[in-house]
Structure formats: structure tokens, C-alpha cells
Copies of this chain bind each other. A is one copy, B any other.
Amino acid sequence: MSSPQMYVASTTAPVNIAVIKYWGKCDTKLNLPTNSSLSVTLSQSDLRTHTTAACSPTFTENRLYLNNEPQDVSGARQQACFRELKALRKKLEDADPALPKLSEHNVHIVSENNFPTAAGLASSAAGFAALVRAIADLYELPDSPTDLSRIARQGSGSACRSLFGGYVAWEMGAAADGSDSLAVQVAEASHWPTMRAAILVVSAAKKGVSSTSGMQATVATSELFEHRAKHVVPKRMAAMKKAVLERDFESFAALTMADSNQFHAVCLDTMPPIFYLNDVSRASIRVVEEINRVAGRAVAAYTFDAGPNCVVYYEEANEALVLGALRRYTAGVAGWEAQEVAASVPEGFDVHVGESLREGVGRVILTSVGGGPVKTGESLIDAQGLPRALSK
């Protein structure tokens, strides 16, 4: 039984994987990016953060639990999200004295991911999106996802894109206070619902350079970076939006692969150089290239975030070819159970290109484009305001 003074709201939020990459901030405090970016939101059936937010006058401090482990909330990023959301609630309360004074209470957040954190998938985007969405629901804020993206961005840049489903742009904006650095939906998942993603999770990936410190090293030392941010990305953003709106997979693929490569190129142009791709990543690229070669056109597109895991986008119609080839190298690993696809490649496929995948991939995740955050009645918080899983 929950205490009469406790208010609770729960949501789930998705992971997104950028196809035009965010890398570099011009304001590290406000998380203002040096260039706009664009991502595909992935289905929450496969990858999601489930978060419950609660507030109560009995809570003596703000708290956050992730997968039942208490987390530090004193960091500037968490504090910014709490502060900004409370300020919005305070405005409502000031305008309507009948509203309970939730803005005066501390907040407890309990979060769980439905995917292994060890997989090295950037989970901070889903995490901060869920946190902001859950608190906004708790506070019954009327603000739109785009309004809220301004807050989620301050938690983790790419989190702003996880407030929407489908195809999402984060427009860098121009204002010094970040008020116009916001996420907007380019298209719903239903506009292009045949988009699929296969994630090759590289086993035993060592912890590399964190994206937060890595991107600022790039801004500070890469001589190529500014050219990318100023002159290359704006063109690619326009071209990618067009590709999405026209469901033009070949253009989508060419831009996705080129932009992943360029992101890793500016990482390599950083001093000291940052390497996220390893020999397994390279073999993944070669397999995708070979798939496209035998298909006679781009039917698959690789992209890599700040780690060695390969995300392969493809359309449902080409599933047999794309997954058949990927499965041929990774048939023994977890993740293929649910998928009925033969591990096979067509005649003429050079099977030698992907041999490194055989020992390097530890798990596959098969998913698709999906929707944005979803409100849920399933609370992760018990009557004392603590993780329900711990009180069982």
C-alpha cells in the first residue's frame, strides 16, 4: 500500500541509434552540440528502459536506482533534469493553487533496462529520456516531447531523440542558452515501418574512451572536425531527411555508412587517437559490403556508435539475404532463437570476408524501428518509495 502522500508515474523509453552522428559539444554544460544529428528509434520490445518516478514529502533526498543499484544523482546532468522539471511543475502550481505542491518534494527514480548492460549499448539515451518522461508524467506537465527534449538533452545529448519514436532529428539550434537545441520527429515509425536493425554485439569489448571525454578531445584536437561539423553534416542532414521521407533506402544507406565512417575518422584524427572500431567491426563492414555487392545495390547499412558493436539497418524485404549472411558467421550466439532465417549466403558471396565475426560476436539483437515512450501502470517502486524488486 502506498503512502497517501506519494505520487507515482511510470514509463518506458526506447534506445535510438543515430544515422547522422552527434559528436562534439560547443557548450558542455548545456550539452549543445556542434552539429545536428538524426536517429532511428528502435523497438522497445527488444531494447527499452522502464522507469518509475515518485515523489513524496517523506522523501529526504532525490534518489535514483538503475537495475536495483543506487546511483549518484549529485552530478550536474541529473541535477539539471530535476531542477528544470521541478521549475515547470512550480509554474503550474503557481498558476493553480489547487494543485498539490509536488515541486517541493524530493523524487525517487527506479529504472530497469531489458537488455544486458554488459552489451555495451549506449543506454544513457533511453535512461534519461525515461527519467524526463516519467517525471513529466508525475508532474502532469502539458509540455510536448520537443519541449521536454530541451531538458533530456541536458541529461545526455542523444537522450533528447529518445522522446520520439520513428525517425528523429536533433536540431542543434543557434541560441546561446540552448532553448532551440531540440528534438523533432522527422517521421513516425509507421511512415517507414519496414526498417529493421540487427545489432552485432562484440564479445569481451574492453572499456574504451567514454563518449563524453572523447568528443571534447576531438573538438579540441582534430583539424578535420570543424569542417565536418560546419560543412558536411548540414548537407547530410537535409539529404537524410529527404531519404527518410521518400523511404529511399539506398540513399539512407549511403549516408548512414558514410557518416559512421566520418565520425570514426574524426575520432582517429583526435590526439591521442580514439579507436572504437576493432578488427571485428571491420569484418562486419566487409560483410555488409559483400551483401550489398551480391545484391547489386545497398540493401544493408552499417553504423557504429562509440564502441565496436555493428548496427545493421535493412528493410524487411531483404531479411533473408541480410540475416542469412550475418547468421552464417554467428549462428551459435544468443539472439537468433526468435528468428526463423536460414544461415546461408547466395552464390557468389565471398565468405572469407567475415571470418573474424565468428569468434568476435557474442550476441545478436534483432529489432526494428519503433515508437516513442509509453506510459505504463507497472510501477517499479514499492510503498516505501524503494525498488519493488528489492522488497520482494
Residues on A facing B (Cβ under 8 Å): 221, 223-224, 227-228, 231-232, 254, 257-258, 261-262, 264-266, 268-273, 275, 278-279, 282, 285, 289
Residues of B within 8 A of A254 (CB): 271
CB distance from A227 to the nearest CB of B (A): 4
Which residues of chain B are within 8 angstroms of A282 by Cβ–Cβ distance? 275, 278
| Residue in chain B with minimal CB distance to A292 | B272
Q: Which residue of B lies closest to A227 (CB)?
A: B227
**How many Å from the CB of A297 to the closest CB on chain B?**
14
Complex CA–CA separation, A264 to B262 (angstroms): 11
Of the A-B pairs whose beta carbons lie under 8 Å apart in the complex, a sample of 9, sorted by A's number, is: A221-B258, A223-B227, A224-B262, A258-B271, A261-B271, A265-B266, A265-B268, A273-B285, A279-B279
**A232's contact among B223, B261, B265, B279, by CB below 8 Å, is which?**
B223
A265 to chain B: which residues have CB within 8 Å? 224, 265-266, 268-269
A223 lies within 8 A of B278 (CB): no
CB-based nearest B residue for A289: B272
* A257 vs chain B, min Cβ distance (A): 7
How distant is A293 from chain B, measured CB to nearest CB, in Å? 10
Find chain B residues with CB under 8 A from A228 CB. 223-224
Taking the closest CB of chain B, its distance from the CB of A93, in whole angstroms, is: 51
- Evaluate contact between B257 and A261: CB separation under 8 angstroms: no
Q: Residue among A221, A265, A282 with the most chain B CB within 10 A?
A: A265
Nearest B-chain residue to A258, judged by Cβ:
B271
Closest 8 CB pairs of A and B: A265-B269, A265-B265, A227-B227, A265-B268, A224-B224, A279-B279, A223-B232, A261-B273
Return the chain B residue nearest A233 by Cβ: B223
B269 contacts A257, C-beta separation under 8 Å: no
CB-CB under 8 A from A285, the residues of chain B are 272-273
Q: B residues within 8 A CB of A270?
A: 261
Among residues of B, the one whose C-beta sits closest to the C-beta of A280 is: B279
Cα distance A258–B221 when bound, in Å?
9
18 additional A-B residue pairs with CB within 8 Å, beyond A223-B227, A224-B232 = A223-B228, A223-B231, A223-B258, A224-B228, A224-B262, A227-B227, A257-B271, A258-B269, A258-B271, A261-B268, A261-B271, A262-B269, A264-B268, A265-B266, A265-B269, A272-B289, A273-B285, A275-B282
Which residues of chain B come closer than 8 Å to A232, judged between CB atoms?
A: 223-224
A268 nearest in chain B by CB position:
B265
Q: How far does the alpha carbon of A289 sit from the alpha carbon of B221 in the complex, in Å?
A: 16
CB distance from A8 to the nearest CB of B (A): 46
- Chain B residues in 8 Å Cβ range of A264: 268
CA distance A58 to B28 in the complex (A): 76
| Alpha-carbon separation in the docked complex, A382 to B371 (Å) | 79
Q: Give the distance to chain B from A211, nearest Cβ to Cβ, in Å.
A: 18
Inter-chain CA distance A282–B268, complex, in Å, is 11
A287 to chain B, nearest CB (A): 12
Identify which of B224, B268, B273 contacts A227 (C-beta below 8 A).
B224
- The smallest C-beta distance from A126 to any residue of chain B, in angstroms, reads 28
Closest chain-B Cβ to A75's Cβ sits at a distance in Å of 28
Find chain B residues with CB under 8 A from A258 CB.
221, 223, 269, 271
Q: How far is the CB of A27 from chain B (nearest CB, A)?
A: 24
Write out the residue numbers on chain B whose beta carbons fall within 8 Å of the beta carbon of A224. 224, 227-228, 232, 262, 265-266, 269
Q: Which residue of B lies closest to A279 (CB)?
A: B279
Measured between alpha carbons, how far is A9 from B356 in the docked complex, in Å? 49
- Which chain B residues lie closer than 8 Å to A275 at the CB level? 282
Please report the C-alpha to C-alpha distance between residue A316 and residue B268 in the assembled complex, in whole angstroms: 29
